[in-house]
Amino acid sequence: MKAFAYVNATSERDAVAALKFDGIALPLAGGQDLLARMKDYIDTPERVVNVKNALDRTAAPTSGGGWRIGASMKIVDLLEHADIGKMYPAIIAAATDIGTPQIRHQGTVGGNLNQRPRCWYFRNEEFVCYKKGGSRCFAVNGENQYHAIFGNDGPSHIVHPSSLAVPFVAYGATFRVIGSKGEREVAAAEYFTMPDDELLTHVMLPAPGNVKTGHYEVRYKASHDWPLAFTTVVLAMNGGIVQSGRVVLGAVAPVPWRSKPAEDALAGKPLNEATAAAAAEAAVSEAKPMSGNAYKVPIARTAVKRAILNAAGIKTV
């Protein structure tokens, strides 16, 4: 690890000021990703700013009937939060299998959303890839079995590593961020393609309303691994008919992937097995797999179908 200066920020303003630095300054929260990256020389910050004490560690109800979650809230505290569990079950479903118990005990909500890609080229200091300021993505002509099957028209083919990002987008969350120009709120779906010169402070969840939600993950291993593909669906219902819905896929694209074709296939339909199968088929209709990951297409289809069945209360294997 390269030597660096350490700053302990105690307020949001402090943190922003300390991160504005003529050199490389990076925020430290749980440290579960940053410290490992520093040990591997993937990142060599000159200044590390501890933001854990500067940012909110709690969750609180909002006046609109929703909840706001502080970026410094630990994943384990989110998991044990009874009200969030009741109102937003898909968030808990996604948080349950993040990393290991040790990582959930130390990792934060903000850290989970902002962790860097898990791509093996990104994580190898020898490869200066697009995500590290280089000019190419080595997965294109390399080993890409865990890479993207959607959103492959862009320059990078990583899959977004955050488990929480997917249900947050599905519930229509907004993120509160602060920077040197002040604070603002952005839609969760926009956040992941923004320049990273602002600091995430809160996740704002709207009141879910009359919705049915489902979450399904396909994994090689039961724990201690990232899913191969997963899906959260949040469906606004009118009796037994789906009025509108959000279908968001994870681990399949460089960002949490909202599937418009699947959402269109659900709108106005009764919530049953045929609808689920049609929406899942629609979701993968726009897949563009790489040389080594076409196998992920049927896995993604299964994740969408079972997430919808899960929302319908129909048991899957």
Partner 1 sequence: MIEFVLNGRGRRVRVPPMKRLLDVLREDCSLPGTKEGCGEGECGACSVLLDGRTVCSCLVPVVQVRGARVVTVEGLDRGGRPSALQRAFIDLGAAQCGICTPGMLVTAAELLRHARGRVPSEEEVREALAGNLCRCTGYQKIVDAVRAAARGASRDGAAGTSGARAPGRSRAGTARAKRSRTARTKRSRRRG
* Number of neighbouring beta carbons within 10 Å of residue 292: 14
Of the residues 11, 58, 62, 100, which one makes contact with partner 1 according to CB under 8 A = 100
Spell out where 55-210 has E strands.
59-61, 67-70, 174-179, 182-187, 199-205
Please, which residues have CB within 8 angstroms of residue 278's CB and are 6 or more apart in sequence? 265, 269
Q: What residues between 213 and 242 interact with partner 1 by CB under 8 A?
A: 222-224
Q: Residues touching partner 1: how many (CB under 8 A)?
A: 24
The whole-angstrom separation of Cα 59 and Cα 73 is 8
Instruction: For residue 268, give the 3-state DSSP assignment.
Output: coil
Of the residues 25, 103, 236, 237, which one makes contact with partner 1 according to CB under 8 A = 103
Please, which residues have CB within 8 angstroms of residue 181's CB and are 6 or more apart in sequence? none
Options 3-11, 18-26, 158-166, 282-290: segment touching partner 1 (CB under 8 A): 3-11
The distance of closest approach from Cβ of residue 281 to partner 1 in the complex, given in angstroms and rounded to an integer, is 34
The distance of closest approach from Cβ of residue 85 to partner 1 in the complex, given in angstroms and rounded to an integer, is 17
The whole-angstrom separation of Cα 291 and Cα 27 is 36
The distance of closest approach from Cβ of residue 280 to partner 1 in the complex, given in angstroms and rounded to an integer, is 28
Spell out where 239-291 has E strands.
241-250, 257-258
The distance of closest approach from Cβ of residue 154 to partner 1 in the complex, given in angstroms and rounded to an integer, is 29
Q: Are strands 211-218 and 229-238 parallel, antiparallel or unpaired?
A: antiparallel
Of 108 and 275, which CB lies nearer to partner 1 in the complex structure? 108
Closest CA to 162 of 152, 144, 175, 153: 175
- What x-and-dash track marks residues 23-52 binding partner 1 by CB under 8 A? -----x--xx--xx--xx-------x-x-x
Options 11-19, 100-108, 141-149, 158-166: segment touching partner 1 (CB under 8 A): 100-108
The distance of closest approach from Cβ of residue 274 to partner 1 in the complex, given in angstroms and rounded to an integer, is 34
Which residues of this chain interact with partner 1, rule CB under 8 A? 4, 6, 8, 28, 31-32, 35-36, 39-40, 48, 50, 52, 76, 99-103, 105-106, 222-224
